[in-house]
Amino acid sequence: MEPILTRYARDPEQKKIDVAVSHGAYEAAKKALAMKPEEVIETVKSSGLRGRGGAGFPTGNKWSFIPAAAPVRYLAVNADESEPGTFKDRLLIEGDPHLLLEGIIIASYAIKCRTAFIYIRGEFTDGANILREAIREAYAKGILGEKVLGTSYALDVLVARGAGAYICGEETGLLESLEGHRGQPRVKPPFPAIRGLFGQPTIVNNVETLCCVPPILSHGAEWFKKIGPEKSPGPKLFCISGRVRKPGIYELPMGIPAEQLVLEYGGGVPEGRKIKGIIPGGSSAAVLGPKQFGTPLDFDSLGKIGNMLGSAGVIVLDDTVCAVDALTNIMRFYAHESCGQCTPCREGTAWSVKILTRLERGEGVPRDLENIANLTRMISGRALCPLADGAAMPLTSFFREFKDEFVAHLEQKRCPMRGAAVPGEQRPLPLESGTHA
Amino acid sequence: MAFQFSQAGLDDLNGYLKHCPKKEAGLLYALHLVQQQAGYVPDEAVDVVGKLLEVSRSHIEGVLTFYTMYFRKPMGRNVVTVCSTISCALNGALDTVGEFEKQLEIETGETTPDGQFSLLKVECLGACDKAPVVMVNDQKFDGVKREKVKELIHVCRKRAGANGSARA
């Protein structure tokens, strides 16, 4: 497949507006601005575009939820990519900022909003600087501001930096953060499209989702629908990392089987090793064991087996990796990033780390395995936002796929992988974690 | 000495606030500016920000403790953050942390006595294909395996020596 989203993103000159324009940037926005906002929404709806932030919700439908009478509306761009294993938005933000800005213009026009905020994760300092420069250039050329592309439509785009909190990638946590608060998610409903930023209707869209919009306007909804599976159409950026030879970002139609992606694009695992597990959608997704390696990577195929495509951050584990150690690392992330609002999430993630750490150290007690299973039930579906479910998925799936290893840790009173693995790469990370000074 | 925003910083913040119906919305923005200017968020800056944005001290403290990127005490000229999340860990991030600790003769979370380096671990830097990833202040370094640590420290020392500070 010819790259669509990343066609120019690896060209270092593409961030300059003149180069982007010479490659056709803002032509789709001109086309959209000549249409009625409702027609733009209809086009995106009929393209079948589903949000690339993790949930896979139909984008055009989301846009149409804004109440018709609302005097003020906002677009909040979710550029807070921070799911372990996910690094696709960084490429789009840093490599082709004008594609994103064009998507923002089209989306803002469609929902009739005058101000769009790009909420970018604090650690992406390069990305924030590149976006600010791209916005400055766009204002100077009359592409943003009072008369967008020479029309009567006015739009301001601002960059807001996060400050190191994974939970701000959750849409209502993001809105709280934009309002100057701790990024603790809100109770839903009301959904942001009804009551969002500063109490006004707000659409929250992921970077990759918005980058899909200009090509849809340029080539049409039918063209987009023909890429990939019928119910998950369009190009998708797959991130491959972990124990693979060619980690990176690969733009493909959805639906490629997991193992094929790892072998064909990720170059497989290091020589002499075997694939042990594939996490298909960032660390919140369930790990696929060998029997599931053929699962097509799209929203519905993964949904059918109780898994999810999420952010398409594919993390590969080879046979040198201790399942208990890997899971401890993942759960430590969720324990650190839980916002603390909901007890099952705050306590459950922390307890899982304690139990897993003692298992890994050979200090496990017989009830630990039962407690892990109980904890999963106590966390899942019992919190305000999906972070808790995201933490429960790896917990359940690692325990299911590699139960023998958990039992072996308990029975042998040590990590059975230790010494057998690649030297120096199997030590558990220290318990304390975080950057609070 | 009392904290004072630079004029450029104030202009920047006011430009942002123009688009927000509530001043409070500029809080993260303002705290980033403070840290850029002072290297951390000193108590006196909390008061300045509180007055400027009309928010209580307790609210600001709540925000400061929630987000991991704000520092409440002076840090080294080079703040080294090592990603220790799954993809980096699978590629030797712990060895990288250990080597930094050995070379700098400090534990994670500490600052060297000469004030040159602070060492921190961080959750996911979003560059998992370049694991293990390290950030020094605002600059990202890819593929920092154990054997590259010494050289990276050397580069930072040299840079700090030339500029007086490695901070942007």
As for the ipTM of the complex, it is 0.94
- Beta-strand ranges (E) seen in A359-424 are none
pLDDT > 60? residue A429: no
Q: How far is B154 from chain A (nearest CA, A)?
A: 23
Edge-to-edge strand ranges of the sheet holding B134-136: B117-122, B78-83, B134-136, B139-141
Average pLDDT, chain A: 93
- Beta-strand ranges (E) seen in A254-330 are 275-279, 313-318
Q: What pLDDT is recorded for position B161?
A: 63
Residue with tokens 């677009």, as numbered in its chain: A75
Digitized pLDDT (tens) for each residue of chain B, 168 residues in all: 689 999 999 999 999 999 999 999 999 999 999 999 999 999 999 999 999 999 999 999 999 999 999 999 999 999 999 999 999 999 999 999 999 999 999 999 999 999 999 999 998 899 999 999 999 999 999 999 999 999 999 999 988 665 544 443
Closest partner residue to A177 among B28, B40, B125, by Cβ? B28
pLDDT digits (tens, 9 = 90+) for A387-428: 999 999 999 999 999 999 999 999 999 998 874 433 344 444
Nearest chain B residue to A91, by CA: B127
pLDDT digits (tens, 9 = 90+) for A196-205: 999 999 999 9
Give the C-alpha separation, A115 to A112, whole Å.
10
- Indicate yes or no: CB of B86 within 8 angstroms of CB of A82: no
Closest partner residue to A435 among B81, B92, B97, by Cβ? B81
pLDDT > 80? residue A17: yes
Measured between CB atoms, does A179 come within 8 Å of chain B?
yes
Measured between CB atoms, does B84 come within 8 Å of chain A?
yes
CB of A313 closer than 8 Å to CB of A282: yes
- Indicate yes or no: CB of A435 within 8 angstroms of CB of B21: no
Edge-to-edge strand ranges of the sheet holding A74-79: A156-161, A115-120, A74-79, A202-206
Q: How far is A329 from chain B (nearest CA, A)?
A: 6
pLDDT digits (tens, 9 = 90+) for A99-121: 999 999 999 999 999 999 999 99
Which run of H or E residues covers position B158? helix B149-163
Would you state the structure tokens that stand for residue A54, as one six-digit string?
A: 């993790």
CB contacts, 8 Å: B22 with chain A: 179-180, 198
Measured between CB atoms, does B93 come within 8 Å of chain A?
yes
Reduced DSSP (H G I as helix, E B as strand, rest coil) percent helix, strand, coil of chain A, to 5: 45, 15, 45
- For residue A375, the cross-strand partners are none
Residue with tokens 């671990």, as numbered in its chain: B121
Q: List the one residue out of A48, A54, A51, A53 whose CA is nearest residue A308.
A: A54
- Indicate yes or no: CB of A436 within 8 angstroms of CB of B92: no
Measured between CB atoms, does B8 come within 8 Å of chain A?
no
pLDDT digits (tens, 9 = 90+) for A279-324: 999 999 999 999 999 999 999 999 999 999 999 999 999 999 999 9
Closest partner residue to A84 among B22, B55, B86, by Cβ? B86
Would you state the structure tokens that stand for residue A161, as one six-digit string?
A: 């930096």
The A residues from 135 to 174 touching B (CB cutoff 8 Å) are 156, 158, 160-166
B19: number of Cβ within 10 Å: 17
Nearest chain B residue to A330, by CA: B86
Over residues A245-272, the mean pLDDT reads 95
pLDDT digits (tens, 9 = 90+) for B85-99: 999 999 999 999 999
Q: What pLDDT is recorded for position A54?
A: 83
- Indicate yes or no: CB of A163 within 8 angstroms of CB of B28: yes
Nearest chain B residue to A182, by CA: B63
Q: What pLDDT is recorded for position A143?
A: 97
Q: What pLDDT is recorded for position B162?
A: 55
pLDDT tier at A433, thresholds 50, 70, 90: very low
Measured between CB atoms, does A27 come within 8 Å of chain B?
no
Give buried/exposed letters for A86-103 (b at 16+ CB in 10 A, else e).
bbbbbbbbbbbbbbbbbb
Would you state the structure tokens that stand for residue A81, as one six-digit string?
A: 């990519």
CB contacts, 8 Å: A154 with chain B: none
Q: List the one residue out of A280, A273, A268, A191 whose CA is nearest residue A236.
A: A280
Measured between CB atoms, does A123 come within 8 Å of chain B?
yes
pLDDT digits (tens, 9 = 90+) for A343-388: 999 999 999 999 999 999 989 998 999 999 898 989 988 999 999 9
Measured between CB atoms, does B68 come within 8 Å of chain A?
yes
